[in-house]
Every structure is written in structure tokens, then in C-alpha cells.
Amino acid sequence: MPVATLEVIDGIGLITIDSPPVNALGVDVRRGLDAAIRESLAADDVNAIVLTCGGRTFFAGADISEFGKPLERPDLLEVLATIENSAKPVIAAIHGTALGGGCETAIVCHYRIAVPSARVGLPEVNLGLLPSAGGTQRLPRLVGVEQAMEIVSGGAPIAAPQALELGMVDALAREGQLRQDAIAFARRILQEGRPLVRVRDRQELVAAARGKPEIYAKFLAKNANSFRGRRAPFNIVKAIEAAAELPFDEGMKREAELFREVHDSAESAAQRYYFFAERDTARIPDIGNDVRPLPVKSVGVIGAGTMGGGIAMNFLNAGIPVTLVEMNQAALERGLATIRRNYESTAHKGRMTLEAVEKRMAAITPSVDLAAVTNVDLVIEAIYEEIGIKKDLFARLDAIVRARAILASNTSFLNLDVIADATRRPEDVVGLHFFSPANVMRLLEVVRGAKTRKQVVATAMSLARTIRKVPVLSRVGYGFIANRVMAARMAEADSLVLEGPTPTEVDRAIYEFGFAMGPFRMIDLVGLDVIGRDSDERTLAGDLVKRGRLGQKMNGGFYDYDEKRNPTPSAVAAEVIAEFAASKGVRNTGPLQADEIVARLLYPVVNEGARVLEEGIALRASDIDVACVLGYGWPVQTGGPMFWGDTVGLSRIVEGLRARGVRPANLLIEKAANGGSFTR
Ligand code: T1G
């Protein structure tokens, strides 16, 4: 099947590009498209051209796997120039997602028509890049400079109806009728003799911004927080400013320069690696496509607390009815009220209709009777994290739930095999470890027990996609993947503040590195009484709790908080830290540089990641990276701990750990010794 086909239908040349899975603009697609366009332009029986794609989507952008490799001709700019300079109207007919180079192809056409379910966007920033086929020069000419900066620096796709309002598309087709409606649209353009205005020639919106540098300064100030530690957003703003300040061809040259800068950066290499890492998590070597997932049409959630409620919302959002079970009516009503409150606040922000809120609430069957989940396809428990209570619950579920239903635990730390052995069907038991808030965090650690059968694992992995989560497979081990490797950071932070650096200095270094917040702000947010409550060992957090400091929620923690929850350094916490250090005989060695703090806290994370790999808890290093990026907000522009470890250099990490008297993992020593890496 050729990548490109051309059909002539009553004077309209219909070009269809079909290169699964997403019509990425790799070299074959570029060549096919170029040839089809040239053929249409040369054909006497073609008066207008409709460009569409087969399969599930319009071009989803450049082929990301081609980056970093020598580019084969024609490049996209050459192909787009042929389209732009066409003397015949070219109409882009869009379905699915017209992204990156796909969107740039659409906006180089004279007109665009899309089905309502389509989305268009320039998400290159998510790859640490910026558009390089004219997106930063043409989009401002369609939607204005401010809107273009929002769209390109944000990277989120825009739904077709909104794109119509913005002027990114010119018409909407009927759902499922794109081809016919696009051809009819092309005919109308011919009949009405509409002008073939090239987007590059539209000056009005960019002229309006010319000579106004304050526009860009204001935008950068507004986004300082989300842009920090990243290069691509700044180059995007510079490129869009060039669209207003420079003639089109000069602007294109500026875009290319700015693109080259970020393309060759470690930041983009990390984010391109991460793009594929997130897609690789679903591949399990010993579970092929022949293992068919079980259908999950109904779910039972045991426990309607913070986690239970969030978990239930994921299934309701996917249209799967939920039976929500609590021990008593009061707890059940509290849980239902929280779910309703969450949905209503989403509706209040205009991201859901009130009708949809009611539809989701109506899909909940609340009950205080465990028997209510007898016939569901999957039961997930999110009850108190204590092994005895969990084992008891699973034994009771085993007695009542229908055969071959899946029994899942949301445990964060407990041994799933012990829980499974409390049933007569350990092969049907799996861990589904959600991260809080469960309806928001995209990470789902799927825990494969020693006896969990393949079909149950396959079902859990595919179910993650249904509820818009990224599944990462973990074997049974304390803290599974994300909690375990990131606990190494907290442990190191706790010992570091005994030596001199303050919680504020530690948090600032980690914040500047790119995390949304440092470990001490995070523990104050979660609650000092929650972390390590089961440990008998004396801890800093424990000492603060003894002083009645539970964190943000009560009396502060490592920080004091004002009524607006703004943190300030705490004299009480400093006192507790000094006492604790004295009790441990730790000498104050004074402050450290930010990069030294980062090395102290994050080298142990790489080391723990190596152990998790050695023990076979994680399938691959990139899974650890995905788990830390999605579960703990590890800055994606560094790729995650294992990719970052490779960037820093494994020998340097081994040296750093040894200097701290920490024994590196064998796998880390071995790779450092033979110049190996985890992710390259
Ligand atoms: N290049 C190569 N492979 C791609 C790809 C791409 N652009 N997009 C998807 N794939 C593969 C993916 O790895 C997976 O493979 C399969 O397709 C299905 O993807 C010149 C510089 C389109 C919304 O950033 O956001 O254009 O795992 O599992 O959930 O200025 O894929 O099956 O082997 O994600 O339905 C800009 C990236 C590029 C869009 C579909 N474009 N793609 O989501 O499926 S830079 C993007 C996506 C650029 C220009 C610049 C999503 C999707 P496999 P999937 P999905």
C-alpha cells in the first residue's frame, strides 16, 4: 500500500496519506506527500487539492525517531513550500490530532476543515523543542502573538470548535463525513472564487504587536514559574517575537536558529527519550498481544477516603460504573460528598458540564455492605494501610466475589504476596498503586505478585490506558518503584540538614533543579504524621510531631506557615534539627552549594534505581524514569533519575556516593567501570 494516493473526483484532487500508526512526517511520508502534491499541481483535471490522512489521525508531526539523525530530503520545509506556492487551492482535511509538523502542514494550506472531534496543536515544547516548519511564524499571523505564545509554549492541543473560533481552522465538517464535506468545501472555494491568501502574507495581527517588547516581557513574567529550568519556552517566545518584528523569510531563519539551539540541547534529548519511555512502559517481555485482557465493565472500590474517592473517579470518568463500599453510612456520605465536590469544582472551571457531573454521580452504587461487589469485574481496596486489616479484607472478598474477578490492592508499601496468600486465588490478585490525588496523578504502578497470572497483569496494564494513566510494572518490593527510589532523596535530605544546610536551602536547590517543590515543603504538605508513622525509629519528622507540628495542616512543620499557607523558615524546626544533630553527634559543617545539595540528594536516587533494576523490581531503567517523573514530578527536561545519571556520568555518581561512605549498587559500579549506561 503506497503511503500516498491521489484520486481525482470531479476536478478535486484528493490526496490521502496513510502511514500507520500516526502518519508521522518521516522521510517516506514526506516523499509521498511531495510527489502527490506535484502530481496534482501538474494534472489538468485538478482544480483544487484536498489533503487528508488515512487511519486514526492527520499528521501527528515530524517523526520523533528521526531527530538527532542526518535528515533525508526532501525536508518538510521544501514540501510545504510547494504547497504554499500552489496556484490551486489546497485544503487540509483534519481528523484526529494535527500536531507539530502536521499542524504546520495544515496552516501552510490555503484553507482548513476539521471534524469537531479533531484537535490541532504545536506540542514541540513537550519535546524540549519548538516548531521548525514555520509554526512560530505562521500561527501568530492566524491567531495573534499573545495567543500564539500561549498555544506554542503550553503545547496542549486545541479542540476543533475552539480552533475555529481562533481562526486556526476555517470550517467544521460533520463527524464521519470529512472526505465528502472537504470536497464540497473545496468546490465552494472554487465556485466563490475565494482568494488564495497565503498565511505568510497575512500581516494584520503581527503588525499589531510590532515594536512592543513589553508583550513578551509580560508573558515571560507571568510564566516564570513554569518555564524555569527549561530553554524551549524562551526560544519559542523569541521566535514569535521575530514573527512580529522581522519580514517572514527572516523570521523563518530566526526560527531555524532557535530550533537548532534547543534541538542540540540535553534538555530536548531528555524529553525525546522520555516521549518513547512513556510508551515503552506498556511492553512486558513475557506477556505478548496473544494474552487478551479481560473485560472490565464494572468496578468495586472498598474505602471512600481520599484515595478511594479519587480511584473511583478515574473509572467514572471512563464511563465504568463503580460500587463504592465503606464501613458505615457517615464515612460513605463523606466520601460521596468529596467526589461530588471535586466534580462540581471541575464544572465550575468550565471543564465539565453539570449534566456530566450528575451522570458520573449516578454511576456510583454506594453501599455499606461488602456483598455489593459480589458480581463486579474488578475490586480495588483503598483502606487503611495495615497488613492485618488488608489480609482480613481479601479473605472476605475471596469468599464472596465471583470467580475470575480481579482483586486489586492500592497498597503503597505492603507485601502484595502476603495479601494475595490470604485468598485461595492469589493468581487473580494484583497491585494497582495510585498516587495522590488519584484522579489527577497519571502514574499507576501495576504490581505483579509472585502468583499473579499473565492475563490479570495484561488486564491491569490495558485498564491503565482506559483510565488515562501510564502503567509502570513493578514486582513486589518495599515501596515498589517510585516511593522506594525517591525515599532515598528524603533520607539524604534528613541527614543533610543535620550538617548545616537549612530546609530552605535544600528545598531551593531542588526547586531550581526543576522539581515543583523540595522534600521539606512536600513532607509538610503531605503531613509529618503520615510519613514514617509505622516506623519505631526516631526521626526528625517524629521529633517535630512530638512538638505538635504536623506540617501545613497543623502548626507548621519544617516551615512555619501564614494564613495563606506561605512558608517561612522556622526557629522551632531549626532548634529540633540542632537537638537531633547533637543527639546523633553530627557536626555542623556549614552551608553547601546548590549543585552539591543536588548531588547529595539525587545520586542516592540513581543508586536506589540501580538496585531496583538489579532486583528485577523494575523491567527497565526508563520505567523508573517514567515513575519518578509522573509520580514525584522529577523534572522531565532531565529525563528522570536514570537518564540524568547517565548525563551526569555514572563514574562521577559512584565517586560521589563513595565519598559519602555509601556503597554503590553492583550494577552501577559495573556500568561505571565499563563505560556503560542505563538509558543510552
Ligand atoms: N513520531 C514518531 N512516532 C510517533 C509519533 C511521532 N511524532 N507520534 C506517535 N508515535 C508513535 C508512538 O511512539 C507509538 O508507537 C504510536 O505512534 C502510537 O502513539 C517539524 C519539530 C499522536 C496524540 O509531539 O502526542 O513535529 O509505541 O501510543 O495515545 O515543527 O502519540 O505503538 O510503537 O502515543 O493515541 C510533534 C507526538 C513532533 C506528537 C497519539 N508531534 N505524539 O496518541 O498513541 S515534533 C508530537 C503524540 C515536530 C515540527 C516539529 C501522540 C498522539 P508504539 P501513542 P495515542
What spacing in Å lies between the alpha carbon of 84 and ligand 1's midpoint?
A: 25
**Euclidean distance between CA atoms 204 and 141, whole angstroms:** 7
Give me the pLDDT at residue 537, please: 79
User: pLDDT tens digits for 563-608?
Assistant: 988 999 999 999 999 999 999 999 998 999 999 999 999 999 999 9
User: pLDDT tens digits for 54-82?
Assistant: 999 999 999 999 998 888 999 999 999 99
Give me the pLDDT at residue 600, please: 97
- Which numbered atom of ligand 1 lies nearest the CA of 465? 29
Nearest residue by C-alpha to atom 47 in ligand 1: 60
User: pLDDT category, 526, cuts 50, 70, 90?
Assistant: confident
Name every protein residue with a CB atom under 6 angstroms from any ligand 1 atom.
21-22, 24, 57, 60-65, 76, 97, 99-101, 104, 123-124, 127, 129, 131-133, 135, 276, 279
What spacing in Å lies between the alpha carbon of 22 and ligand 1's midpoint?
A: 7
**Euclidean distance between CA atoms 220 and 637, whole angstroms:** 19
% of the chain exceeding 90 in pLDDT: 93
Residue 535: is its pLDDT beyond 70?
A: no
H helices of 497-620, in order, are: 503-513, 519-526, 540-546, 571-584, 594-614
Specify the pTM.
0.95
Omega of the bond leading into 74 within 30 degrees of 0 (cis): yes
- Which numbered atom of ligand 1 lies nearest the CA of 129? 21
- Which set of grid coordinates corresponds to residue 495? 541527614
Q: What is the DSSP string of 359-376?
A: HHHHTEEEES-GGGGTT-
Indicate the top mutation candidate among 17, 22, 274, 280 to test ligand 1's pocket, ranked by most ligand atoms within 8 A of CB: 22
Give me the pLDDT at residue 229, please: 87
State the average pLDDT over residues 163-190.
98
Q: Flag the least confident range among 63-72, 118-127, 378-387, 658-667.
A: 63-72
Mean pLDDT of the chain: 96
Residue 529: is its pLDDT beyond 90?
A: no
Indicate the top mutation candidate among 64, 119, 283 to test ligand 1's pocket, ranked by most ligand atoms within 8 A of CB: 64
User: pLDDT category, 1, cuts 50, 70, 90?
Assistant: confident
Torsion, Cα 204 209 211 215, to 10 degrees, reads -170
What spacing in Å lies between the alpha carbon of 60 and ligand 1's midpoint?
A: 6
User: pLDDT tens digits for 375-413?
Assistant: 999 999 999 999 999 999 999 999 999 999 999 999 999
Give me the pLDDT at residue 93, please: 98
Give me the half-sphere count of Cα atoms (radius 13 Å) on the Cβ side of residue 633.
Answer: 14
Give me the pLDDT at residue 534, please: 57
Give me the pLDDT at residue 531, please: 62
User: pLDDT tens digits for 312-359?
Assistant: 999 999 999 999 999 999 999 999 999 999 999 999 998 999 999 999
Of 509, 475, 439, give the one whose Cα is nearest residue 620: 475
Residue 532: is its pLDDT beyond 80?
A: no
Give me the pLDDT at residue 533, please: 56
Write the CB contacts of 52 (distance below 8 Å, at least 6 apart in sequence).
Answer: 14, 15, 16, 17, 58, 92, 93, 94, 95, 178, 179, 182
Q: Which positions are catalytic?
A: 104, 124
What spacing in Å lies between the alpha carbon of 419 and ligand 1's midpoint?
A: 39
